[in-house]
Chain A
Amino acid sequence: MIFSSITFLFYFLPIVLGIYYIVPNKFKNLVLLVASFIFYFFGEPVYVLLMAFSILIAYIFGILIDRFQETKYAKLFLIMGITISIGLLMYFKYANFIIQNINLWLNNKIDFIYVALPIGISFYTFQMLSYLIDVYNKKAKVQKNILKLAMYISLFPQLIAGPIVRYTTIDNQIDNRTHTIEKFSLGVRRFIIGLSKKVLIANVLGELANTFLTSNEMSILYYWLYAISAMLQIYFDFSGYSDMAIGLGKMFGFEFMENFNYPYIAKSITDFWRRWHISLGSWFRDYVYIPLGGNRTSKIKWLRNILIVWLLTGLWHGAAWNFVIWGLYFGIILIIEKLFLAKYLEKLPKILSHLYVLLLVMISFIIFNGENVTQILSRIGGLIGIGGIPIVSPESLYYLKSYFVVMVCGIIFATPLVKNIFLSTKKEKLKNVLEPIALVCLLILCTSYIVDGSFNPFLYFRF
């Protein structure tokens, strides 16, 4: 089930909210657990069993690690738990990629396995890993109630596209969370803003990106339109989903970590990754980069650590070489920045450092969306007219005019400009009147777009 669907918005959500707030507190977690399984079952009727099995693994090994804490067995159980969790992820997500490359490089003919990627497996596997590692490191108390652990892992607001909520973040909230009108209304606001980002901007620009992909009439302008629209689409799609997840979390009394902080206003790629998919970046920092030694080691190992983290970050996004290239692309840029570029970037005029980030990120998403190296190079080359393509074609001009306002909206809302204007306006009474009206209008508008059955994929579901 996806958040931006009628089924979720006007059937699932009101029913779950209704039951959740009617039942006594002691049953609220159970309601969320059942709702989360139904939510997942709707999208993955078979793989719901896989998720249940994964939860069982996390539960058993969590208990074992805790039970044998201070003994050599704790580490053994940690390794076993991690191995099984990553093993499942490897099988369902990477097996065919590995087979494909073995066949390619070793001239073997191993048959592909016929498995579909379970939705959200990368997200919930990482949550389980953080739980097991934190229990082992005594940063988290073991959860002895399997229903509560299952509720944490399967919690539907963040189950299939994050943010990657760590157990330590909501450990206390599982038993002691507060429900207030203020928190609920903040959740509603956040949810509707996220829904609007997704439905009104990401989906609309996604149509433009898709139109480009099916067109034969290429021009430099069209390549730029594609690159910019794809860049905006992925941001509004993913950050919109995170906003909805955080908003829903608040409606059910939870506080999740922020996942985006206006990444397109970053002044360096280092800064960009502090603002983009924060929960994933901090996960890799805490569970891979620092355990590998981080930067408190020799320069060579430090650089190795960075490349390992970014190779894994790339692979986390997908089992294909373009994701590997994408991850290493950022790893190399980050190394260059850390070694010498950062000090120059600081001295650059703001506009130039912003352009530097936007250009590199735009190219990164061309790599991200590319199917093969030839296509990626041709799309990057298309931006500067390689291949003798015209500067403008009638089709590209038409779509520039057609999507100009949405793109401008996307650019404006990708910055904190509107938020800052709203916050700095002193007319509190007026703001308090306008805010509910704006939210209702946005909800109705989003509903209209969904009812019209427009383009509505969630890009991050595939991870």
Chain B
Amino acid sequence: MNEKTKNKIITIGFIAILFSFLLANILKKDQAVSISERRKLAQFPTITLENIVNGKTFQEIDKYTVDQFISRDSFRSIKSIWSNYIFRQKDNNGLFLKDGCIYKIEYPLNEKNVQKTSNKIKNIYEKYLNSNMNVYYSLIPDKNYYLEGDHLKIDVDNMQSIMKNILPEMQYIDITDALSLDDYYKTDLHWKQENLGRVVSVLRDKMNLETTSNLDYQTETLGKFYGTYYGQLGIKVEPDVIKILTNDIIENSQVYNYEKTRNESVYNMEKWQTSSDKYDVYLSGATPLLTIENKNGPKGKELLLFRDSFGSSITPLLIENYEKITLIDSRYISTKILDNYINFKNQDVLFLYSTLIVNQNVLKD
């Protein structure tokens, strides 16, 4: 190829690429959401004189063109692959891949946030609970905690110390030794329900609960699970599999969703079919307030579980020890109004949060 031909190819090629993308982007139908990123995509802005003058319209157009770019996921994958394999960056937008497993960096330990979260828990204790109640709290380490090597991770030990200092009235249950890397999904932040046996044993032991069924469950495999990190990273890895553990007690338990004001099942198969996050199969996913009732459970024994999404999958394994478990996700409900829904008396109380939640201080007052 001579110089002239090369120049022609560069010129024609460049123009062809620009115009192809221009046309493709114009013709492409706008998407409302990105399933892989689990978020809403920017839409073409409503144009008003005010927004034009203050520049908002143009900022929104920039967001729109990026979000609605044709084959967006493929381009994000290219970036991710380049960053990971060519630039050898240890993470891409805070996510990294190691041995087929995707991790998200949560670093550093935000001591102020830990203190704030601990104080919110303390406020709940002071407002609603008392020394006659068995009150426990526990931290679920993010999976990076179990990762060997020089990756940046939260100092969980320090987090525990801060919380112990602020919450001396409550009993801390250490479950870090009851978990390992294999107990977490490879493409998601959550733990696997089918691997929670050791955690449940530790909780039962520390909370003085009787083991009635020896954790005898039937395991049902629902199917492939592409976790939250899968789409965010943009590199193809083997998906996980979601399994549910069930037995007669779980199947016969009644779930009431206060937000939806309706009864639901412990495992929500509708969510499994329709939700972009298949982890929502466990107790219908993010919900401010739920109760699970086990009519054959120990009479009058109740648990108040202050929890995040990790709580959804472990709760079914605790129901046999209680007649009723109330799940409170205070990311979505203010704790100031809890007494409108809960009659605080002599229940067991467990605050069970992942270190991610504590470090980010996302609980409501």
Is B337 part of the binding interface, using a Cβ–Cβ cutoff of 8 Å?
A: no
Measured between beta carbons, the chain B residues less than 8 angstroms from A43 are 55, 58
Of A45, A217, A448, which contacts B108 at CB under 8 A?
A217
Q: A395-B108, A444-B78, A452-B75 are in contact. Are A10 and B15 (CB under 8 A)?
A: no
Is A101 part of the binding interface, using a Cβ–Cβ cutoff of 8 Å?
A: no
Q: A15-B22, A17-B15 are in contact. Are A451 and B79 (CB under 8 A)?
A: yes
Contact A452 B18 (CB under 8 A): no
Is A78 part of the binding interface, using a Cβ–Cβ cutoff of 8 Å?
A: no
A454 to B53, CA, bound (A): 26
Is A11 part of the binding interface, using a Cβ–Cβ cutoff of 8 Å?
A: yes
Q: A448-B78, A451-B69 are in contact. Are A440 and B17 (CB under 8 A)?
A: yes
Is B72 part of the binding interface, using a Cβ–Cβ cutoff of 8 Å?
A: yes
Contact B1 A10 (CB under 8 A): no
Candidate in B5, B69, B78, B79 with the most chain A CB atoms within 10 angstroms: B79
A440 to B14, CA, bound (A): 8
Closest Cβ–Cβ distance, residue A99 to chain B (whole Å):
25
Contact A14 B75 (CB under 8 A): no
A403 to B87, CA, bound (A): 8
Q: Which A20-64 residues have a C-beta within 8 angstroms of B?
A: 42-46
Identity of the chain A residue whose Cβ is nearest the Cβ of B55 in the assembled complex: A45
Contact A451 B88 (CB under 8 A): no
A181 to B2, CA, bound (A): 14
Is B236 part of the binding interface, using a Cβ–Cβ cutoff of 8 Å?
A: no
Contact A185 B66 (CB under 8 A): no
Of B19, B75, B91, which contacts A18 at CB under 8 A?
B19
Closest Cβ–Cβ distance, residue B87 to chain A (whole Å):
5
Measured between beta carbons, the chain B residues less than 8 angstroms from A217 are 108
Contact A451 B75 (CB under 8 A): yes
Q: A13-B18, A217-B108 are in contact. Are A450 and B86 (CB under 8 A)?
A: no
Contact A436 B9 (CB under 8 A): yes
A6 to B95, CA, bound (A): 24
A17 to B14, CA, bound (A): 11
Contact B19 A14 (CB under 8 A): yes
A251 to B17, CA, bound (A): 15
Closest Cβ–Cβ distance, residue B95 to chain A (whole Å):
12
Contact B10 A436 (CB under 8 A): yes
Contact A443 B17 (CB under 8 A): yes
Is A425 part of the binding interface, using a Cβ–Cβ cutoff of 8 Å?
A: no
Majority secondary structure, B binding face:
helix
Q: A5-B62, A432-B2 are in contact. Are A402 and B18 (CB under 8 A)?
A: no
Measured between beta carbons, the chain B residues less than 8 angstroms from A46 are 53
A432 to B4, CA, bound (A): 9
Is B151 part of the binding interface, using a Cβ–Cβ cutoff of 8 Å?
A: yes
A1 to B77, CA, bound (A): 26
Q: A185-B11, A443-B17, A452-B76 are in contact. Are A404 and B58 (CB under 8 A)?
A: no
Is A80 part of the binding interface, using a Cβ–Cβ cutoff of 8 Å?
A: no
Measured between beta carbons, the chain A residues less than 8 angstroms from B61 are 7
Closest Cβ–Cβ distance, residue B107 to chain A (whole Å):
8
Contact B6 A185 (CB under 8 A): yes
Contact A451 B66 (CB under 8 A): yes
Closest Cβ–Cβ distance, residue B165 to chain A (whole Å):
20
Closest Cβ–Cβ distance, residue A323 to chain B (whole Å):
26
Is B8 part of the binding interface, using a Cβ–Cβ cutoff of 8 Å?
A: yes
Contact A404 B108 (CB under 8 A): no
Is B7 part of the binding interface, using a Cβ–Cβ cutoff of 8 Å?
A: yes
Of B18, B66, B108, which contacts A14 at CB under 8 A?
B18
Measured between beta carbons, the chain B residues less than 8 angstroms from A10 are 18, 21-22, 25, 65, 69
Majority secondary structure, A binding face:
helix
Q: Which A164-204 residues have a C-beta within 8 angstroms of B?
A: 181-182, 184-186, 188-189, 192, 204
Is B89 part of the binding interface, using a Cβ–Cβ cutoff of 8 Å?
A: yes
Measured between beta carbons, the chain A residues less than 8 angstroms from B87 are 204, 405-406, 409
Is A453 part of the binding interface, using a Cβ–Cβ cutoff of 8 Å?
A: yes
Candidate in B5, B19, B77, B87 with the most chain A CB atoms within 10 angstroms: B87
Is B90 part of the binding interface, using a Cβ–Cβ cutoff of 8 Å?
A: yes
Measured between beta carbons, the chain B residues less than 8 angstroms from A215 are 108
A188 to B61, CA, bound (A): 25
Q: A10-B25, A43-B55, A45-B53 are in contact. Are A398 and B151 (CB under 8 A)?
A: yes
Measured between beta carbons, the chain A residues less than 8 angstroms from B80 are 452
Is B45 part of the binding interface, using a Cβ–Cβ cutoff of 8 Å?
A: no
Closest Cβ–Cβ distance, residue A102 to chain B (whole Å):
30
Contact A182 B78 (CB under 8 A): no
Is B258 part of the binding interface, using a Cβ–Cβ cutoff of 8 Å?
A: no
A246 to B22, CA, bound (A): 23
A314 to B6, CA, bound (A): 43
Measured between beta carbons, the chain A residues less than 8 angstroms from B216 are none
Closest Cβ–Cβ distance, residue B89 to chain A (whole Å):
5
Contact B66 A6 (CB under 8 A): yes
Q: A14-B15, A395-B108, A440-B17 are in contact. Are A432 and B65 (CB under 8 A)?
A: no
Is B150 part of the binding interface, using a Cβ–Cβ cutoff of 8 Å?
A: yes
Identity of the chain A residue whose Cβ is nearest the Cβ of B10 in the assembled complex: A185
Measured between beta carbons, the chain B residues less than 8 angstroms from A453 are 66
Measured between beta carbons, the chain A residues less than 8 angstroms from B19 are 14, 18
Measured between beta carbons, the chain A residues less than 8 angstroms from B223 are none
Closest Cβ–Cβ distance, residue A22 to chain B (whole Å):
12
Is A145 part of the binding interface, using a Cβ–Cβ cutoff of 8 Å?
A: no
Measured between beta carbons, the chain A residues less than 8 angstroms from B77 are 448
Contact B13 A440 (CB under 8 A): yes
Q: Which A417-463 residues have a C-beta within 8 angstroms of B?
A: 428-429, 432-433, 435-436, 439-440, 443-445, 447-454
Closest Cβ–Cβ distance, residue B59 to chain A (whole Å):
10
Identity of the chain A residue whose Cβ is nearest the Cβ of B69 in the assembled complex: A451
Is B82 part of the binding interface, using a Cβ–Cβ cutoff of 8 Å?
A: yes
A17 to B52, CA, bound (A): 25
Other contacts beyond A185-B14, A432-B1: 10, CB < 8 A: A5-B65, A11-B65, A45-B52, A182-B3, A217-B108, A395-B107, A395-B152, A398-B90, A403-B89, A432-B3
Could you give 14 example pairs across A and B, Cβ below 8 Å?
A1-B58, A6-B65, A14-B15, A14-B18, A17-B18, A398-B90, A405-B88, A429-B1, A432-B1, A436-B10, A436-B13, A439-B14, A443-B17, A453-B66
Closest 8 CB pairs of A and B: A402-B90, A14-B18, A185-B7, A448-B79, A448-B78, A185-B10, A432-B6, A6-B65
Which residues from chain B sit less than 8 Å from chain A, CB to CB? 1-11, 13-15, 17-19, 21-22, 25, 52-55, 58, 61-62, 65-66, 69, 72, 75-80, 82, 86-91, 93, 107-108, 150-152, 234
